[in-house]
Amino acid sequence: MASSSSSFSSSTTSTITSKFIGLLLLLSLQIDLLLGSAIHLKNQTSFRPDRDIQKLRRVEAYLNRINKPSIKTIHSPDGDVIECVPSHLQPAFDHPQLQGQKPLDSPDRSSRSNETTNEESFNQLWSMSGESCPVGSIPMRKTTKNDVLRANSVRRFGRKLRRPIRRDSSGGGHEHAVVFVNGEQYYGAKASINVWAPRVTDAYEFSLSQIWLISGSFGHDLNTIEAGWQVSPELYGDNYPRFFTYWTTDAYQATGCYNLLCSGFVQTNNKIAIGAAISPRSSYNGRQFDIGLMIWKDPKHGHWWLELGNGLLVGYWPAFLFSHLRSHASMVQFGGEVVNSRSSGAHTGTQMGSGHFADEGFEKAAYFRNLQVVDWDNNLLPLKNLHVLADHPACYDIRQGKNNVWGTYFYYGGPGRNPRCP
């Protein structure tokens, strides 16, 4: 019996010991979990220091300043919110020289040559439901907190990164396929631009096709006026091609912005939302769509007006914004631009135009057609002494031509990274 009792006692002790060890292990695991949670919480709070809280406050202040009171809200199928803002409350009228004023009436139009596009061929997703903004208001794409937070800083939001404009092959990560004229005084430019939806492979890259009016030296006093379409995930949060404008008076340093994201461009039109998605777009071996764009200087007041199609005025850049462009442009440029960040260590796969090279031609490569410039008397003239330039032709190239229907034209673009463009 003693032997049996001893065996029972030993078994009981062993069971108790096992349970105790198990309890210790369980307590140890719980302590580890608690410590881990504490460390995780500590790490979480490290993502929200005073600096980030201050940034959020700056974002909110910016949004309160740029998103104006509206009289109607329209929800676009692509997720954009379009606010119908009374025209005299748009951001341009925050400028000290415009405060208390209203948009100017339409000026006399410049001379016209035959043009096959008109405003009916230009559509945007937000207006396809039949919704529109009342007369006396303008449609503004609402800027969201996420839009601003995608930028490097609140101050840089809505602005191109500082870099030299297309003049030689040192584009600072920006690559071009363009044609340009210089050496004379230019008072505007016009072209029809084929619209595509090129693939942008990095969130901080873009692909655009536009007209540039340029004046000043290629240093810190460069003035530009720009308009066209762009795909920019950083600015808009998606990959739709969007109608855009831009301006700067100091080579993209502190002045100017995209669209209506600062005090500058004065919109006068209640049908077009600058920064909104364009629809439809062209397709490979399919239907082709283009938008007619014209920028021209009003001789009476000196402002630079933006026109869509064949007579639809969008608005104007006031002359006082500029130094060199206050009088005229010294260079006009047409074409495509991409950002090549080389984030993967190789050339970007971001496409320009259709993503296909120029020699593929119509329905495959993107094009500009009916290129013209405006003279001092508001006459539309053909381009003289045209220069053609692709700074990385193995990645994006260009081919210029001329005929009786398209006048001066060119095909351009490319896929970016490929066996010849590593």
The answer to whether 297 touches 328, Cβ cutoff 8 Å, is yes
Query: Active site residue: 119, 337, 360, 363, which one?
Result: 337
Whole-angstrom Cα distance, residue 252 to residue 254?
Answer: 6
Q: By CB neighbour count within 10 A (0-12 exposed, 13-18 middle, 19+ buried), where does 115 fall?
A: middle
Of 115, 226, 234, 363, catalytic: 226
Contact 319, 301 (CB under 8 A): yes
CA trace torsion 174, 176, 182, 188 (10° rounding): -90
Residue 209: helix, strand or coil by DSSP?
strand
Encoding tokens for residue 355?
């993503």
DSSP 165: -
CA 308 to chain centre: 18
Q: Which residues of 145-174 are buried (b: 16+ CB within 10 A; e: fewer)?
A: eebbebbeebeebbbbeeeebbbeeebeeb
Distance of CA 313 to the CA centre of its chain: 21
What is the CB-side half-sphere exposure of residue 420 using CA atoms within 13 A? 9
Active site residue 226: yes
Kindly state the helix (H) or strand (E) to which residue 11 belongs, with its residue range: helix 2-46
CA 162/CA 251 separation, integer angstroms:
7
* Active-site residue flag, 83: no
- In terms of Cα–Cα distance, which of 409, 412, 310 is closest to 369? 409
Which tokens hold the place of 179?
Answer: 């044609």
Residue 84 DSSP symbol = E
Quickly list DSSP for 390-419: ESSTTTSEEEEEEETTTEEEEEEEB-SSBT
Q: What is the 3-state secondary structure (H, E, C) of 295-364?
A: EEECCCCCCEEEEECCCEEEEEECHHHCCHHHCCEEEEEEEEEEECCCCCCCCCCCCECCCCCHHHCCCC
Active-site residues: which are they? 226, 337
